[in-house]
Structure 1
């Protein structure tokens, strides 16, 4: 023993360092880690040893192996520990009384449970750490080991392991821990090792495997087992994109981050916080059931020292991140699980059951629950499973490799419940009236008893029966409880309110089977209950982004519950609100499908001019139009307007709405003049009916500006757009999606008017607001980003920066819309033009050809947009040296566009600029000069003296005049153009530099549908 000076100057003994082997079950890793770190903090050495001997190894031999290391063995005892190896109590007591008692100086223990321990554990004199705070737990640990509480001088490890009973700084939505979780230690350890070994910012791992294989349970166990390693643990249900978005955004509140209410801004703030590691660097985010790797860019933090865990059935995650393939239990895990839950069966019988069910965890859970509850012998159970018959399930589609005999085992369970647990079966049948997955079951307790069928009224008044029924379904592994009631729930919560917010999860495979088994006379009545529940849960504000999480929660249950067939008006209004939500949130594919389903049902008993059907037609037309299905939208809206015009009683509001929708369809189909006349009628009617600042009027004005812009009347469009923007900022709010749309169009107007720097400044602000309010992948945000890139390009931003941004945006557009959507085609066309300008002719040609062909398929051969694309194709040919081919394309574009646009349209002027160049390059100098002079005259009149297109026409005419030896006029014209370009765009702008170098100007056609 050596001595050191104490605080009072006296000598104090210094204890010698000891070595401890901390033996624990995998379930208790968090405790073992904390214990080891506290021992190290006090100057001792500690080795962690996960102890899980096989049942074939004698217990005394397994305990002897622990003594091979030097020092004492500290056993971490819990409810799980004595189940390792599935030993009988007698074996444990015998070894503890004999071998351990003889070696008592080498063994010590702590206990983490308040349940009675085996009698012979008294020989270990375990220190009870149950429900203690950290200070007292540490005191008892040291006292049991006869250690003084003197921190070692060099010890500084306590900060890396939080006391397991202390809640992390942020803990959200994590499901309850499965107390019966078995095995998977190799997977959990491999998962932790992969995450810890990954480079900072790249610690992402996806657990992939078939349905029912246990991916979610592994993720839950990982969160609890490695909890002390993290200060933030956040669970994100990801089976729906909008639910995923809003749950992830909820981290702003948990982390105390300043942000607005819009999901896009909250996601941005969360990702930035995780990336920077402020306020917490040790974080774990789990995305459960994420099937779309293409959405990864919108959520995964780009950097940071935290970890991301994903569960998915989609093996395509391999291309995006590290993956860990999850298969069934190892046979030893299967038998261990069965023996733990059904201790009356033998190991050989457990092996037979595991073989029967292919070691699939989901099915083994049900089998184990049945055997454990019923105490049935395995031979009888397997006979029932094998001989039960599968005829009634022939229509069910099961996952690959899923054991068909599981169908019969579920039938056995349901029949048993029907005989003995009536309320449990009623609650289970109610669950099948929802869609599988996350079920907000507790909401039913908020209904009035009169809203429920007589046999379900007990739900609102008999809380004990509710609790027993739900517990029974959980015990039989039919349901799992969701987030509420986790290890870190707040205390003092009102019990009744907690039950009303109870959420459960029903696996899709289980739902499919149980739906067949539980069907009966009550099924339709139960569906009506769910209809009323959905209507009560409707916030009535589908355009408010704050309410989108609720609509995302309701949407999956509309079809499954039969709400589409309901004739209750409240339910019907909820269906329309869900459709409005789909359109407002950009979920147009889901909206299109929902609209078709609603129309199919309502058409059976509603006339086309019924008010609800008229509203449905408007909403369906909107989602069809947003999905590039223009002709379908036109036919739908045209038929409605015809009916309204010939109706016996006039409905001005319905006529206004129908005319507005048909005007939009007509614009998309290229009939710009006709559409504008219709829209002017809509604006006049809206002003008369609603006034100048009502939302309907402002929407009409917005669409009017779109029509003016398509006709090339840019200044008029800007005046209307600016007026609409100012009024929307007052009557709605600055961050309302409609206001943001007006910011985007004002910037577009400024850009096509040639005010590039002003357009860029306005669009940069608009872009930030779009991301904050709507999120980075909302269709409106993607369109705003496209416009921003065009503003940057025209304003002179470096080409390399724009090229990479365009490529990234194209990838996002394709993920959100698909390759053939009109938004995507527009970006493909502009990207092709950009690449052509920068010399990448092969890629440019491919993209421009793809866009032209895509537009022809979408809009028809003669539409102005695919016709205008011919001019871009000509520019590629010209760059390749095919001057005759280029001129042919330019001429075709002019001839094809003239009937649609007339000679004074800016698009026609741009095509004429290119055509004049084509004539010059092919030796038709007089024709080129004549066309250039005529084009310059028109451009000055239409666009003004200083518009970039007008200045390009001046440079082009100067080149033609110079070719004709008219040098004086050419020189004056060129000098004037250079002065104006320098004044308006700047001396270093690429247009100015090109003109100074006498590079022939050209014009890119930008496809725009409104």
Structure 2
């Protein structure tokens, strides 16, 4: 097989090679051998892990950069503005004779880029004669790889070759025939042969011969797996024998430690937050030094693998092979699952959900949180379930702050299912439901979030009491929801009501108290009291900057809403300066695809329209809208607001017909999503009436504006600036003015 791959490396035929086989078959070892051969030939060799989409994207864009890609193009690719696969391939095609290995591509979705799957030949994997692409994967279906992929099956070894492997590793363990019998018994799986050989080659092995090893397998195999012909079973038993050997060497603590680590996601680095020696030791009832020795013991027998090279401020990470994890999970008990759950609870408790510098750590923990949610209920007690639930609550908060507004939905759904045993009134369950409601709220599904929050609040008031921080938080978000729904008078009253209790219970400078002040001022501003809102936001900005820092997400939210008040007062030059600074800061702190960054860009574009820079505003809004549709969905209120601002930019350039079509679509969508009486729908209807008048369609404009004035007078009041503006436009249309 190596010779075959070597020939294709020398003379690429335009196909990529897929080394496909079961776990432990030696696919990566084969690819490494090919890579070593290529390096000896002086070829460029690149190796990327294909286990996770985000890290794969980073690795391949890093490769593109090292090959001379434009840094600007790479950053645009990271932001989703430019096709990342094209950026890479523009550089790869200029090189010759290279080898690129995609290792552990066991999920072909990871190799999907945009709409291009692994089999399409237009994404990360493409036909080329510039070099050779090799993929290692468990996916053995040719259809999954398409016509540009050549499947190279990597089977298990025959017994003769397997015997040679065993004798290389344990030369004194028996004859060739005995080794061959054991190799056959292990099914020829290279990983199993390697584990068995290392065990038998150890001076501390209890079973020193191939025959005695096989006899021990026979004794324990049926009890463990129940099927003697299953090739994975031999591997599983081999790992158990390795643990037995460690126990005989006074390192029995390795077994529960492996069981605990196997509760986390397999083949994913278990990084330093989860490897706190004291926390693991406390959970397992052992000393710190025992945990350290246990980790070293597991590494020494190959039951753990070292993870990626850690950052300077992190300890080394480890990974558990999927087969090792699967075998270990068959021996779970409450003792080890509780230890794993507690380790996750402590790890998440040490992070801040609202700190951008912690968000990469949260992302590394997320696969392990999901893995804990898949633990069987029989292996958990209420303490473990509660610890996992609290870790999910914290993770959902971090995901929301980081801009992944849809991600908490699946987490909370799975966590609530797992936490049924705790009962509906358990505080952790209520907080999970709270996170579920916030997921709906932040995705703009307001009608769905409202009854959820109401029901949670009713339960909290009866179980936790009105002054409990969780109850106050739900009351705060209920008031926030009213603001989003456009029920501004109710929202202002609700904000003042909860603010009164927060001041008494939490204090004036508590972040949640300040958050309620933020939404109170938003309600005040939307009700037309712009100067009052501006003054309040300036005071809040000073407080948040002092307590949280000038670039904290909460502080930047205050900047954003201060800009709105300036724009409402037609102080567009001041607003443009503020938003220009805010966009730059949010890009640096949040990144280009965060909803808050996109929101600031949209607000700045709105101001540009008012300053007579309609074409510039339109270009910006089209870019924002494209990303918001992808990140948030076409019906999210932020995307609809960007469409409204886009229509205004068109009007500023005299393109009234285009703007009319866009505004009608916005009115229809916002009426469906927010309700026809929402003030944002009124904004779009006012713009529609004005553009109809500008087209000379006076009767249509008057009808639209007259209906809107009646609605706004009833919902906002006759003195609200929105009502006044509509009435002025109506008067102009009726008198033939502009």
User: What TM-score comes out, normalization by structure 1 length?
Assistant: 0.53
1:529 Cα offset (Å) = 2.9
Contact 1:188 1:218 in 2 (8 A): no
Q: Distance in 2 between matches of 1:591 and 1:533?
A: 21
Question: Could you list the per-position Cα deviations for residues 877-896 of structure 1 after superposition, in whole angstroms to 9, with x for gaps in the alignment?
Answer: 55666543343333332233
Correspondence for 2:402 among 578, 585, 588? 585
1:559 Cα offset (Å) = 3.5
Aligned to 1:433: 263
Tell whether 2:706 aligns with 1:897.
no
Q: Distance in 2 between matches of 1:612 and 1:542?
A: 17
1:768 Cα offset (Å) = 0.8
Correspondence for 2:307 among 482, 493, 504? 482
Aligned to 1:871: 686
Contact 1:825 1:851 in 2 (8 A): yes
Alignment of 1:125-524 (within 5 A): 183=5, 186=8, 239=52, 295=80, 297=82, 312-314=110-112, 316-317=115-116, 323-324=125-126, 334=154, 342=162, 367-370=189-192, 408-418=230-240, 422=244, 430=260, 432-440=262-270, 443-444=274-275, 446-447=277-278, 449=281, 451-452=283-284, 460-462=292-294, 465-469=297-301, 471=302, 473=303, 481-484=306-309, 501-504=316-319, 506=321, 515=326, 519-524=329-334
Give the SS at the match of 1:587.
Answer: coil
Contact 1:237 1:247 in 2 (8 A): no
1:757 Cα offset (Å) = 0.7
Contact 2:157 2:188 in 1 (8 A): no
Q: Distance in 2 between matches of 1:779 and 1:716?
A: 27
Alignment of 1:447-846 (within 5 A): 447=278, 449=281, 451-452=283-284, 460-462=292-294, 465-469=297-301, 471=302, 473=303, 481-484=306-309, 501-504=316-319, 506=321, 515=326, 519-538=329-348, 539-562=350-373, 566-568=382-384, 571-602=388-419, 604-606=421-423, 608=425, 611-613=427-429, 615-616=431-432, 618-643=434-459, 650-651=466-467, 653=469, 656-797=472-613, 799=615, 801-840=616-655, 843-846=658-661
Give the SS at the match of 2:268.
Answer: strand
1:702 Cα offset (Å) = 1.1
User: Which is helix-richer, 1 or 2?
Assistant: 2
Q: Distance in 2 between matches of 1:211 and 1:544?
A: 42
With over 3 angstroms needed to count, the CA separation of the structure-2 counterparts of 1:774 and 1:462, relative to structure 1, is: closer
Q: Distance in 1 between matches of 2:293 and 2:622?
A: 59
1:857 Cα offset (Å) = 2.7
Q: Which segment is superposed worse, 828-837 or 660-669?
A: 828-837
Can you give the 5+ residue segments of structure 1 that lack an aligned partner in the other structure?
Answer: 1-53, 55-83, 86-181, 195-205, 252-269, 286-291, 346-363, 376-387, 394-404, 474-478, 491-496, 921-927, 930-958, 961-999, 1001-1010
Q: How many residues are aligned here?
A: 639
Alignment of 1:50-129 (within 5 A): 85=3
Aligned to 2:168: none
Give the SS at the match of 1:704.
Answer: helix
Q: Distance in 1 between matches of 2:307 and 2:528?
A: 56
Give the SS at the match of 1:555.
Answer: helix
Q: Distance in 1 between matches of 2:492 and 2:17?
A: 54
Question: Could you list the per-position Cα deviations for residues 711-748 of structure 1 after superposition, in whole angstroms to 9, with x for gaps in the alignment?
Answer: 12212111111111122122221111111111111112
Q: Distance in 2 between matches of 1:829 and 1:220?
A: 58
1:659 Cα offset (Å) = 2.9
Can you give the 5+ residue segments of structure 2 that lack an aligned partner in the other structure?
Answer: 94-99, 128-133, 141-148, 166-185, 198-220, 247-253
Q: Distance in 2 between matches of 1:848 and 1:219?
A: 58
1:769 Cα offset (Å) = 0.8
User: What TM-score comes out, normalization by structure 2 length?
Assistant: 0.70
Contact 1:210 1:313 in 2 (8 A): no
Question: Could you list the per-position Cα deviations for residues 670-703 of structure 1 after superposition, in whole angstroms to 9, with x for gaps in the alignment?
Answer: 2111111121233344444455444233222211
Aligned residues: CA RMSD: 5.4
